Amino acid sequence: MDLWLIGELALTGALVGLMYALVALGIVLVYKTSGVANFAQGAIAMTGGYATWAFATLLGAPLFLAIPLALATMFAVGFLIERAVLRHMVGQPVIMIIMVTFGMEIFLRGVMPGLFGVSVKRLDLGIPQAPLFVGEMLINRAYLIGGLASAALIVAAIVLFNSRAGIVMRAVSDDQGASWSVGIRVERAIAIAWGLSAGSATAAGILWGATQGVDWSLSLLLMKALAIAILGGLDSIPGVLLAGLIVGVCESLATGIVDPLVGGGTRDIVASLIILMTLLVRPYGLFGREQIERV
């Protein structure tokens, strides 16, 4: 196979993987703070895309205003989800909390298209449609801008978790009881993590909406995000960056190289295979902390 084609597939996959990673970032933020796996992240990304479209189209707000409005709204939604739903699940088995988040995923996946219609909603961010050529490689400008923006937001999250506010959230993650004893408001830290998670999902929904439009299919980003979060480590934000690149490149190469040989369909199994292999070989991911319990 032509090396230029392989390079194009790898570069495109890396950019797409970074956009997947922005969804996974929200899963890691919630798990890192509260120890809960958020299975509603795909539908929240979809909802953020719909919210941006609604502000821009139905309410007539210019896009430079619609985007921050959607981000602020979805931050509040994430905050309220923790306050109104998950806080009442304190003391329940972990599997019950996970099922609640999965229930929210199914609920939002049905409600949002019901409210706004099932047709694809276009988000025009002003990205030129003409492709960019690097040598003989053809690069989609929407993927390039989306991938770079996603990487910048993930790096910003890394910086945040090394700031004073991030140290508080990390303390909550390490030991909620000890955090309470030193005056940290644990519930508020967890609610903020849910707000930030919804914000990162909304940013991803906007970028994907500019690439493929906004509809129910954005909720399917959940599987890609789970693969990245598990591979990188559920409590590792830097792991999200590397795992996103790995998942994106593997998916792109499988689509470009393996699909012609087997008749298609490999894109849909790459994320599932990565989840399975990671759990079998390295359950805590590439950078996750291995927790050893003494009995």
Per-residue pLDDT reduced to its tens digit, 179-226: 777 777 777 888 888 999 999 999 999 999 999 999 999 999 999 999
**In 10 A of CB 25, how many CB atoms?**
32
Q: What are phi and psi of 225, to 5 degrees?
A: -65, -40
> What pLDDT score does 110 carry?
92
3-state helix, strand, coil in the chain (%, to 5): 75, 5, 20
Distance CA(230)–CA(252), nearest Å, equals 19
- Asked if the 3-281 domain carries CATH number 1.10.3470, the reply is yes
- What does the block give as tokens for 47? 């909802």
| Residue given tokens 């961010």 in the structure block | 125
Scan for tokens 């004893």, then name that residue. Answer: 181
Identify the residue whose tokens are 């309410």. Answer: 59
The SS3 assignment for 128 reads coil
Task: Decide: 194 and 79 in contact? Cβ < 8 Å.
Answer: yes
Position 79 scores a pLDDT of: 93
> Residue 6 to residues 144, 154, 250: CA-CA distances in angstroms?
17, 26, 11
Give the pLDDT of residue 291.
62
Grouping H, G, I as helix, E, B as strand and the rest as coil, residue 132 is strand
Question: Which residues, 6+ apart, have CB-to-CB distance to 202 below 8 Å?
Answer: 44, 45, 47, 48, 49, 51, 52, 70, 71, 74
Cα separation, 14 vs 142, whole angstroms: 13
- Domains of the chain, by residue range, sit at 3-281
- Spell out the residues 6+ positions from residue 276 whose beta carbon is closer than 8 angstroms to its own: none
Is the sign of the CA dihedral 289, 275, 249, 208 positive or negative? Answer: negative
Helix 221-232 to helix 267-281 angle (10° resolution) is 30
CA distance 155 to 161: 10
Tell me what pLDDT residue 247 has. 96
pLDDT for the residue 174: 66
Q: List, for the chain, all residue ranges whose pLDDT scores fall below the cut of 50.
A: 293-295
DSSP 218: G
Phi first, then psi: give them for residue 268, nearest 5 degrees.
-75, -20
Residue 81 to residue 103: CA distance in whole angstroms? 12
Coil, helix or strand for 214? strand
Give residue 292's identity as a one-letter amino acid code: I
Burial class (CB in 10 A: 0-12, 13-18, 19+), 62: exposed
